[in-house]
Each structure stands twice: as structure tokens, then as C-alpha cells.
Amino acid sequence: MADSQAGGNQAAQFEALLEFIRQSRGFDLTGYKRASLMRRVSKRLTVLKARSYAAYQDYLEVHPEEFGLLFNTILVNVTAFFRDPVPWEYLGREIIPAILAGKKPEEPVRVWSAGCASGEEPYSLAMLLSEAMGKEDCVQRVKVYATDVDEEALVQARTGTYAPQTVQDLPLALKEKYFQDVGGHYSFDKDLRRVVIFGRHDLMHDAPISHLDLLVCRNTLMYFNAESQRRIVARFHFALNDDGYLFLGNAETLLTTTYLFTPMSPKYRFFAKVARAAPRDRLLVMAQTGDTEADATLTRGWRLRESAFEALPMPQIVVEVSGNVALINQEASALFSLSPRHIGRPFHDLEISYRPMELRSAIEQAFSERRPLSFSGVQRAFPDGSVQYLDIQVVPLFDNAGAALGVSISFADVTSTRQLEHDLERIGRELETSSEELQSANEELETTNEELQSTNEELETTNEELQSANEELETMNEELQSTNEELETANVELRERTEELDEANSFLLSVLSSLRTGLAVLDHGMRLLHWNAVAEDMWGLRQDEVRGKHFLALEMGLPVQEIKDSINLVLSGRSRQEAAVLNAVNRRGKPFQCYLFVTPLTGKKGGDHGAVLLMEPPHEGQDAKA
């Protein structure tokens, strides 16, 4: 119970944090998937050692500069030139030629790269179009709109300059043709750069760019929840021309918006716009893009549709109050050989308006009396002599204010019922038994249909869950790739510092080896830290033998006890230099006078860390003195 309460408290704190970010910086994150969003925000909590989201919100209020670091962490800018090369090859081989084939020579080509990060994707598009059209024609006709919510990434993208490792996987021909080496970095072609227009754009709240031939949004939708994805995809549908194409990322698909786009190459995630959607779907698209007038239209149209099609579960035709056909359901189309092209035509132009019965007068009567009218057993004769019996119901439709919207005309085929009634009169009980058996079979069929429908819904749910899991895995993969890039950068810096340290150590050892004086470096406890080659030659003790040992405990030909006080004076800071001349014996057993100098070992940031002893060996030809 305690864990459940703690989890709920954390969730509430996280939602409060998102609302604070929205109000403070106008950055609405509520449409993003909570799992990946919480994972990214938690990275900042770990860095700052914040214990809760509430504590992190308090930190943001006091340190506004943290917002920039937070947004850089949330917005995973993982991208590359021609990322996932195979779909890009398909784009250059199939999609772009199809777009250009439908254009006049002087007609513009408009492309949108949504979620462009640091610009590699829109520049890749510009290169493909330049290769297909020629650079001069591309500069004149093409506009590539590149948008993102990350201002810092857009600033980098506008420069068009990239590090060597960013362009290392580009085909050599493209790199030589479209990039210039400027001071060790690669700058994108300045003429073709004018084709790409960068700008900040929020896919959830800003109006979409319109009249597009191609819309590229790769591995961006997967960060949004299902409702946000539906809204964004509806905006994409509105933005594209009727013959436009949508290019998504590897982990993204359009499970819930198949009425807006049809798969062109599901393997490579290319979709073609459905240009002529059904009336309800067209209204839904307009409403999801945020058009308030469209919302009103949708409300009226949907109210009319619901009123008519909920009246009776049978073939129906809905006629507007103006007299034009508004809706025809599928069963009515099959029954009377009607098609969608009849929608919008005057009802009185259709044969159904007067055959098998005069419906125009019935419609007028229903409006005038403001009540439904029923007609039973209406005969419909066919050329082959057969007769069909129909029950027809005319229902006037009104809105809440009582204003007439139209009329619903429903038809029920009762031919079988009439035949059964006739047979009942002849065979009585036998027909009654058959009717019961038919009813039982119908119920079994309905039960089976319900079970199939339930199974289908379960499969759809499972498919959506698998898609969501796939998107989450792709999201985590991009986060890991981003972290790996950060680690690679840190590794390069560490390697450079290590090389600098090695050079410094080599230089220091070279200096120490070049001294013609014996050198001993002591810490505050008089333990040996360093012992150079001259000292080894003087006393016959190797450095690995003496390192870490107490200087006064060394067994050699130098009477170290005689300089104990001098060393202590330097180590205690009471003296900055001490000198002495001692009678010593070198490793060969020859006596000589050894000149010693003791000075403090001073650290980089000040303060003494030990002592340095310089021991001058006998000069060549020096006589030993007792």
C-alpha cells in the first residue's frame, strides 16, 4: 500500500512539474509518452541528486539556467546524414522521381523535415533533390522546410558545419561535391543551403506547413502518446498535396489513421495520402487539425449522421432539408444500385424517390406533421416477375432547437416474412417449427459473430501494444545512442588529457635524468617518492628498492642521521633551504665529501608537500678526504 501511495505521489508530482514547465517556458510536454519522458527527466534528477520531482521543480524555480540542460536531455537529437540508408535509397529511386514526374518544369517542389534536430536530415533531402534535378534547378524550385522545438539544435543546423566524424559515413562523391573542408570541419554547400529554411515548430500546437509534396518525420512520432500521434498525423494529412507522400521512421506506423494514408512501401515506411476520404473522415481530419469552424461542421454532420443511422438498423437514405441526398448506407446502395456519386444530388432526381412508392409527398407530410410515417408491405416489382415486399419508414430529423435537419428513409425487406406468413396459413405448425429453428440458427450466428468481433478487437489491441512496445524500444535505443556519443566525447577528452600527462611525465623524467646531481624526493614522513639515476650510481641502491622507504633507514655510505635536523627544519616550514657537507663513501667504497642541499617540495596550488635533497657527487679526479 505504501509503495502504491508513493508511486501515485510521484506521478502527481511529475504532472505538476510538466504543468510548471508549460506555464514557465511555454513548452508543452503533456502529449509525450510518460515512460520515456520520466526516464529522461530522471537523468537530471540523478545528476543533481534531487530526491523527487517536487524537489527538482523547486530547483528549476531558483536556477532558471537548468531549463536549457533539461530540454537538451529531453530532446534526444539522434540523427545522421542518410540515416538508415536503404529507405533513403528507395526515396531517391522511387519517390522523388514520382514527385518530379507530376510537376511542370517551373512548378515548385515543397518538402518538410519535421523534427530535423541538427540538420543532417534536411541537408540529406537537399542533396537527393539536387542529384535528381540538377543543382541549379534545385536552387530555383525547391524549398525544404526544416523544423524542430529545440532552438539550440536549430542554431547548429543553420551553420551547416559538421565535425569530421559526422560526415565520415557519407558517400565520398557526395562529400566532395557538397561539402568544403574549413579548418578541419565540413561546411555544407552555401548555394544549396539556401534551399533549406529552418524554424522552430511545435507539431502539437503550431499550424502545419501546407501544399507539401513530401513530409519526412522519422523517429519523432514515437515519443508522443497515441492521442497526440492521431492529432499530428491528421495535421500531416492536411499539410500534404493530394499526391503527397509521408516518410516515417523504422519504429513508426499508422495503425489508427489508415483512412488518411495508404501504405506505399510499409517495409520502408512510405505512405501515400488518401486524397478523397469519406465525408465523415474529411470532417474528422479538419477537426483534428484544430479548425474551430471544422469542429462546428463536424458537430452538425455527425449529429445528422447519428440521428439518421441510429433510427433503424436497416438500409437507409438521409435527405437534407434542402432536398439533396446527404447519406446513403452500404445496404441501401446494394438494394437500390446507388453509389457515392449520388450523394449531393437532388433526391427527386433518383428513381427511389417515386418507385416503389411516392416518397416525396411522404417526406413533406413527415415534415409538416413532425412525426415518423410508416408504410408496410410496399411492393417492388422486378422485370423477371418477382416481387419484393418492403416496410418503409420516413423519420424527420430535428436538432435540439427543433430546427429541421433532414429526413431518414429506412427500408426493411419483409418479403421473406410475407412468404412465411403465407406458408403459415398452409402448413401451420410445421412452418412454426422451421421458424423457431431459423431463429435459433440466427442467434447462434450472432453469437459466433460477436465472438469473432471480440477476438478481432483483442488482436487489434495486441497489435497496438506490440507497436507501442516497438516504439518504446526504438526510443530507448536512441537514448542509448545519445549517451554513447556523450561517452565517446568524454573518452576523447580523457585520451587527450592522458597524452598531455604522459608528455609532461616524459619531460619531467628527461629533466631528472639529465641532472648530474643525485636527487631524492621525500614526503612529509621522510618516505622516498623519487630517486634518480645519479643517486643510484652514487649509493648502489635502485629506485624500486628505495621507493616508499624511510630515508633515514637506508643503508648506504651517506651518514643520513647527521642531516636529520636539516630535513626536519625544511619539512616543518621553519627553513626554506639547508646545506651540509658530509664525509661519505660511494658504492665503490671510495670516500668523498658530499655536498647536500635540502629545499621544500612545493605543490601546484601552494603549500609544501615534502622535501627535495640534492646530493652532489665527487667531481672527476677529486681526492678523497678523511
Domain extents in the chain: 2-74, 85-280, 311-413, 417-514, 517-616
Phi, psi of 259 (to 5 degrees): -75, -10
pLDDT of the residue at 180:
94
Q: How far is CA 605 from CA 77, 149, 509, 601, in A?
A: 40, 45, 21, 12
Q: How far is CA 261 from the centre of its chain?
A: 21
Task: Assess whether the region 311-413 and the region 517-616 belong to the same CATH fold.
Answer: yes
CA distance 204 to 221: 11
The CATH number for 2-74, chosen from 1.10.3470, 1.10.155, 3.30.70, 3.10.129, is 1.10.155
CA distance 419 to 243: 52
563, 594 contact by CB (below 8 A): no
- What pTM was estimated for this model as a whole? 0.54
Write out the E strands in 453-548: 518-522, 528-531
Q: Which secondary-structure segment (H or E) carries 449?
A: helix 429-514
Q: How far is CA 363 from CA 304, 349, 353, 357, 414, in A?
A: 16, 15, 10, 12, 22
Percent above pLDDT 90 for the chain: 41
Q: What dotted CATH number matches 85-280?
A: 3.40.50.150
CA distance 252 to 254: 7
DSSP 551-608: GGG--SSS-GGGGHHHHHHHHTTS-S-EEEEEEEE-TTS-EEEEEEEEEEEE-TTSSE
pLDDT of the residue at 298:
46
- What is the rounded average pLDDT for all residues in the chain? 84
Q: Which CATH superfamily is domain 311-413 in?
A: PAS domain (3.30.450.20)
Phi, psi of 389 (to 5 degrees): -105, 130
What residues of the chain score a pLDDT lower than 50? 277-283, 286, 291-296, 298-299, 302-303, 306-308, 310-312, 622-626
Dmax over CA atoms of the chain, in Å, equals 153
Sheet arrangement for strand 261-265: 196-200, 142-148, 109-114, 212-217, 240-248, 270-273, 261-265
Q: What dotted CATH number matches 517-616?
A: 3.30.450.20
257, 467 contact by CB (below 8 A): no
CA distance 567 to 70: 55
pLDDT of 350-407, one tens digit each?
Answer: 989 998 999 999 999 998 999 999 999 899 988 888 899 999 999 998 877 788 888 9
Q: Which secondary-structure segment (H or E) carries 275?
A: none
Give the number of other CB atoms < 10 A from CB of residue 426.
8
Q: Packing angle between helix 34-48 and helix 53-62, nearest 10 degrees?
A: 60
Q: How far is CA 533 from the centre of its chain?
A: 62
175, 189 contact by CB (below 8 A): no
Q: Is the peptide bond before 263 cis (omega within 30 degrees of 0)?
A: no
Strand partners, 110: 143
Q: Which secondary-structure segment (H or E) carries 524?
A: none
CA distance 340 to 349: 15
